[in-house]
Structure 1
Amino acid sequence: MIAPIDSLEIAVIVDNVTDSLSSNPKFVETEFSGAWRRGMQSLGGTCLCCAAHGLSCLITARIGDTSHSLLFDTGPDAWVFERNIVRLGLGLDLGQVGAMVLSHGHWDHAAAMPRALQMITLANGGKPVPTYLHPDMFASRAVKNPQGRMMPMEDIPSPKVLAGNGAELIITRDEQSVLSKSFYVSGEIPRVTSFERGMPGQHRLGPDGEWELDELLVDERFVAVHIANKGLFVFTACSHAGLINVLTHASHRFPDVPIYGVLGGFHLSGATESIIPDTVEALEPFNLSLIAAAHCTGWRATGALATRFKDRVVASAVGKRFFL
């Protein structure tokens, strides 16, 4: 189902925050450090990325002299995605992207997909990009506010738009092994905890044109790789399914491989801040070596995680690179 890899590189293309000043472990390169390494002559805004509400990661798995790259989500805006790709010097690397995965059907992870596909196909000579999606991602969605008003979200790009920009669509509920079994794309994530209840107040537009409750977001999936001599590394973009549900499912799918770490949004902000204590407590048995909090985790949850797990918590930020 998944083959061990020798090493893993993660480039954070889009994230909610920018932070090159906080201390980091040696396996993390900040945006500033990367810019100096690539030849920046003087530090200034024209050299740097733009933070935005969303997430996108370029994930590269290396096995000997071979490498496979997967784009995990694209963030909320084509301009932000393109600017950050250029600022990070990843333009040529996009030609090596062998697959794209959209984690779930929300605009802040999907809106830049057409531009990302254009940039990949321009860099790879026009070859189509295998693009993995869940069939339930494409419904219109909204959140009902406390006053009872529906607050619609921007729809994600349609299959027709994605195909027209170079996507080879793989629309399925099933789990997949992709890029020579270097990456695992999960199927639907079972909901087993008592405290993780999805996204409160979310609705979807049903076939009859009426809004229906859609708090569980069954279309959400995660990506995982197996780093040799370390263990499983899990990418969870928003954790609407619940961080503990995600890690529990990963451990059940790969019972003989310990989970080394996780990167992503843990969605412990706003209406889900109440489950921070339960999440922190339930995370302990996984004994993770790296907890890379990103995107929608929220500062309260990041603080609680850092208090409990100390240096094992490394906050993500736009422009960071993780070398594992």
Structure 2
Amino acid sequence: MADKLIRVSNLKLTFIVDNCIEWFTKMPPGFSSELARHLSDNPPLCERTGVPFVDLENYCCGAHGFSVLIETQAGNETHSVLFDTGPDSKSIIRNLQSMRIPILNIERIILSHWHSDHSGGLLSFLKYRNEVGSTHSVSSSSQTKASSKVVVDLHPDRPIARGIRPLNVGKVIGRLPEDPSFSAIEAAGAVVETHAEGHVVAGGTVYVSGEIPRVTYFEQGLLGAVRWVEGPGGAEWTPEPDIMDERYAAIDVLGKGLVIFSACSHAGIVNVMRDAVTVFKRPVHMIIGGLHLGGPELQPRIAPTVNFLSDKIKPSPTYVLPMHCTGFNAKVALEEALGEGCVPAGVGITVNIEGDLKDDDRLFPPTIDD
């Protein structure tokens, strides 16, 4: 699979849904905030002063979930895919509108795993795209994309229901909202593709993993997770800490290396990185997404995770963007270990990563000190 992933010359990321909004922290080159974008792109003006309004009514909102728009360029070919859709029907649409995303260009949605904080906006996105395609005047290229059905890339093992049973409580305290069904996705005009194995999409520029090998001793999944199982013997909640349907995505940027998206890291971000560098033999430029280190029961995992990112894998990632379910304590520990390499990204932030062909031969496979 590694030889089928095409290295890209340019990668643009736009964070559509995340728990956090960050406007004020100094960002590395290539990062820009929603605030700067809105104030420079035809903002509404105050008639009295002539100064642009900070139009908060139409800015992005935070929500407990994750979604990122991934735009790749290799040669003269560009592709646009959406990785996850956030937790609800409202936040993704508001934020797509706020960021003025050309929604008709999005050709594929990749769902990282079957949890509603990642799948909750899927059907509303499809409905919104249909509405935009039917009511707006668009260019001929966008017309072609609008007339093509969006592909929704899913793991085949969709659960009936998932819930949480805290270890110190002993009973199921709640279940997550229903994930979209295959039939509902198709009824919304999309094409369902199911993949349990790793594969490349977007003209070969985006890799979607298969099931992630669980080899790191301190990464033990989502404690207290349960799944509703129905069978001949009855129906019951069954422990399911591993969330084996979770997948990561990776892009290989010329002269930079791998950019890895791990939306929730139930598999463990160390397991994700081990798998990615084993498959591709390339250094890691950037880690993005939820690192699954929030909550008191996961605090013991923070130190060994940070140690791996900062000391065990060499070279270390240039940037780590801890988002969604990472948790405050883990972000603090990452900033202490990585300094400016830990970037407090959030919803509304755009990242441009430019490849460099002449530097590509200088990249060597990373080593892991076990």
Q: Same fold (TM over 0.5)?
A: yes
Shift, 1:31, TM fit: 1.2
Question: Given the alignment of the two structures, is residue 128 of structure 1 paired with residue 154 of structure 2, yes or no?
Answer: no
Structure 2 gap segments, 5+ residues each: 45-52, 134-144, 354-370
1:43-74 deviations in Å (ceiling 9; x for gaps): 03113111000000000001233210110000
The answer (yes or no) to whether the contact 2:159–2:227 under 8 Å persists in 1 is no
What is the TM-score normalised by the length of structure 2?
Answer: 0.84
- What is aligned with 2:115? 106
User: Within 5 A, what are the aligned runs for 1:198-213?
Assistant: 198-208=221-231, 209-213=235-239
Supply the distance in 1 between the matched residues of 2:348 and 2:250 (Cα, whole angstroms).
Answer: 21
What is the TM-score normalised by the length of structure 1?
Answer: 0.96
- What is aligned with 1:227? 253
1:148-183 deviations in Å (ceiling 9; x for gaps): 221211121111111111221111211111121010
User: Within 5 A, what are the aligned runs for 1:34-53?
Assistant: 34-41=37-44, 42-53=53-64
Question: Which one of 119, 122, 131 corresponds to residue 128 of structure 2?
Answer: 119
Percent identical pairs in the alignment equals 31
Question: Given the alignment of the two structures, is residue 263 of structure 1 paired with residue 288 of structure 2, yes or no?
Answer: yes
Supply the distance in 1 between the matched residues of 2:330 and 2:35 (Cα, whole angstroms).
Answer: 26
- Deviation larger for 113-122 or 46-55: 113-122
- What is aligned with 1:317? 346
User: What is the SS of the residue equivalent to 2:107?
Assistant: strand
Shift, 1:147, TM fit: 2.0
Supply the distance in 1 between the matched residues of 2:41 and 2:188 (Cα, whole angstroms).
Answer: 30
Supply the distance in 1 between the matched residues of 2:126 and 2:344 (Cα, whole angstroms).
Answer: 28
Shift, 1:78, TM fit: 1.4
Supply the distance in 2 between the matched residues of 1:149 and 1:205 (Cα, whole angstroms).
Answer: 13
Structure 1 gap segments, 5+ residues each: none
User: What is the SS of the residue equivalent to 1:191?
Assistant: coil
Higher Rg: 2
The answer (yes or no) to whether the contact 2:81–2:106 under 8 Å persists in 1 is yes
Shift, 1:261, TM fit: 1.1
User: Within 5 A, what are the aligned runs for 1:1-324?
Assistant: 1-41=4-44, 42-90=53-101, 93-121=102-130, 122-123=132-133, 124-145=145-166, 146-150=168-172, 151-208=174-231, 209-255=235-281, 257-270=282-295, 271-284=297-310, 285-286=313-314, 287-324=316-353
Amino acid at match of 1:156: D
Amino acid at match of 1:262: I
Amino acid at match of 1:35: H
User: What is the SS of the residue equivalent to 2:16?
Assistant: strand
- Deviation larger for 188-197 or 264-273: 264-273
Shift, 1:96, TM fit: 1.0
User: What is the SS of the residue equivalent to 1:272?
Assistant: helix
Shift, 1:125, TM fit: 2.8
The answer (yes or no) to whether the contact 1:173–1:187 under 8 Å persists in 2 is yes
